[in-house]
Amino acid sequence: MAKEILDIVERLSNEKALDEEKVFQALEIALATASKKKCNVEADMKAEINRKSGTVVIKRRWLVVDTPDGILENPSKEISLEAARVDDPEIRPGDYVEELVIDENTNKEIIFDRITAQTVKQVLQQQVREAERQQVIDQFKNQVGKVLTGTVKKAGHEKVFVDLGNGAEAVLQRKDMLQHDSFSFGDHIRGILLPIRDDASRSGSQFLELSRTSVDFLKELLSIEVPEIAEGQVEIVSCVRDPGSRSKVAVKAKDRRIDAKGACVGMKGSRIKSVSEELSHEKVDIISFDDDFNKFVKNAMEPAVVSQVIVDMDSNTIIMGVDDENYKLAIGTSGQNVRLAQRLIKEVGKDMRIKVMTLKEVEQKNENEHNAIKQMFIDVLNIDDDFAQGLVDAGFTSIEEVAYVEPDEIMANVEGLDEAIVAELQDIARKSLKNIATPSGKSLDEQLIQLIGSDFNLARALAAKEISDLEGLAELDVDELSDVPQLTAKEAGDLIMAARNLTWFKDDASN
């Protein structure tokens, strides 16, 4: 039998182009399975084949388990640590106790009959097929993220099986197809190879999977069609897709002499047309990236023309002002253009909401805001309408600006004011800051006001959180100030630590 074993291994290795070690391992699994079936026991069997002589040894194994109460969950495959150490005092949990399998009738090593030999053959065929498939998988591991081309082998509604050549097969699932994709037997198909994962339905075996909806597929297609991208002269900064419908790609050139957008579009749109046709005529907007954020967000709204951009950091909103003719185009079908533009700028680290307004609406919004600021000046500073309008026209937008700006700046920008009037005005503004109160009616402590300085909005934000003194601020953690738009995480941490130094660690600082 030993010679037959070696002959089988050599023949399969040559026929299937498999490494001999993989064939030996497959045969050992087959022999172990057949042995388990012949002995008719729920046991863990192990077959060992001598690689030189071809002799086979069948062993039964028990996993050593440390069970204080002595109860085993699976007695046919497990042995307690205490029992195992009777024969081997050095054995540890996780090791195996092995015993040579003896045929009960002949009291010799197990001999396979015709039926068990058939089992060996069936299991071996299955293991060899799996080894062949795994060998193909291993060949493609370095091509993950690359565009592959194949031929449709079998087309179904939920899955398409693609022949990649040399015995390799990939799966294209419905979720990874474009809306208008339709394939038949023999069609040529392109897709990006996804990270190789285990198939739970096939006992953890791995399989190749393609995608046509991935953002990376679009990037790779552009790299193929645009030599400047492949050579690194043009960089894809961000890319977003509504697969099969529309996508936006922000690009920039490393050399100012290169027109990044023109390079991607190509002569008369030839390059971008090829990409669009591969994606079932998905519209691909090439956007020029700009370090100037306002310019970039205007570009992101293409093909709509944006006349005005207002970035409101307090509300984390970007107002896009467009004329009436561009309004529908800026919004896009079902808000698609705005949604993609918003995702595009998020990709470059700006998670902000885009709001599209007509120029008339922007003008009305600005007027309402100016009126609100003017009314705040009238109410808080106790001044008349003309005086308040003068402050607004001069560019003042908050009480703290009036309170702490240099007096000369106020006099230079607002007509008819002298030093005495400005001093009185700033005194009123500073006192108003002290009058900020929490919802429960507590006034802000003088030390807290001194710590936050002239930031009127921050004072109101802290008051809204019932923080009226340094002690209350010191007890906070950074997360509790995460919703205060005036503060970054670092600034919040510094502010809290400053409050602690003035309260908890005051004596240490004095020493």
Whole-number Å distance between alpha carbons of 326 and 306: 8
Where helices occur in 320-478 by DSSP H, the ranges are 324-331, 336-347, 359-381, 385-393, 399-404, 407-413, 419-434, 446-452, 456-464, 470-474
Give the chain's domains with CATH numbers: 2-134 (3.30.1480.10), 144-213 (2.40.50.140), 382-434 (1.10.150.20), 446-510 (1.10.150.20)
User: What 3-state class would DSSP assign to 202?
Assistant: helix
pLDDT at position 2: 64
Q: How far apart are CA 154 and CA 78, in angstroms?
A: 45
Residues paired with residue 209 on neighbouring β-strands, in sequence order: 171
pLDDT along the chain (511 residues), means of 10: 71 70 78 73 79 80 83 84 87 87 53 60 70 73 89 90 86 92 92 79 65 95 95 95 95 92 94 94 95 93 92 84 93 94 90 92 89 87 90 86 86 87 87 76 80 73 87 89 81 89 73 48
Residue 472 carries which side chain, given as an amino acid letter? G
Distances (CA, A) of 186 to 59, 121, 154, 160, 360: 50, 34, 8, 11, 57
Radius of gyration in angstroms for the set of CA atoms belonging to the chain, rounded to a whole number: 37
Beta-sheet pairing, 234-242 with 205-211: unpaired
Secondary-structure breakdown of the chain: helix, strand, coil percentages, each rounded to the nearest 5: 50, 20, 30
HEC letters along 6-70: HHHHHHHHHHHCCCHHHHHHHHHHHHHHHHHHHHCCCCEEEEEECCCCCCEEEEEEEEEECCCCC
Q: Retrieve residue 387's tokens.
A: 């005086």
Alpha-carbon gap, residue 260 to 84, rounded angstroms: 71
Identity of residue 386: D
> 104 vs 82, 107, 453, 464, CA distance in Å?
28, 5, 92, 84
Burial class of residue 442 (count of CB atoms within 10 Å of its CB; 0-12, 13-18, 19+): middle
Q: Are 492 and 482 in contact (CB under 8 A)?
A: yes
What pLDDT shows up at residue 203? Answer: 44
Helix pair 293-300, 336-347: axis angle to 10 deg? 140
Specify the pLDDT at position 200: 46
pLDDT of residue 437: 74
pLDDT at 117: 62
Question: What is the pLDDT at residue 282?
Answer: 94
* Eight-state DSSP code of residue 405: S
* CB-count burial class (<10 Å; 0-12, 13-18, 19+) for 158: exposed
Q: Are strands 159-165 and 44-49 parallel, antiparallel or unpaired?
A: unpaired
Among 383, 384, 432, 429, smallest CA distance to 402 is for 429
Q: Are 77 and 62 in contact (CB under 8 A)?
A: yes
**The pLDDT of residue 107:** 44
What sections of 407-505 are H helices per DSSP? Answer: 407-413, 419-434, 446-452, 456-464, 470-474, 489-502
Asked if residues 268 and 314 have their Cβ atoms less than 8 Å apart, the reply is no
3 state SS of 190: strand
The pLDDT tens digits of the residues spanning 474-490 come to 998 888 888 887 788 88
Residues 6+ apart with CB under 8 A from 75: none
Bridge partners, residue 168, by sequence: 165
pLDDT reported for residue 429? 84
pLDDT at residue 306 in the model: 93
CA 507 from chain centre, in angstroms, equals 47
Please tell me the predicted confidence (pLDDT) of residue 283: 95
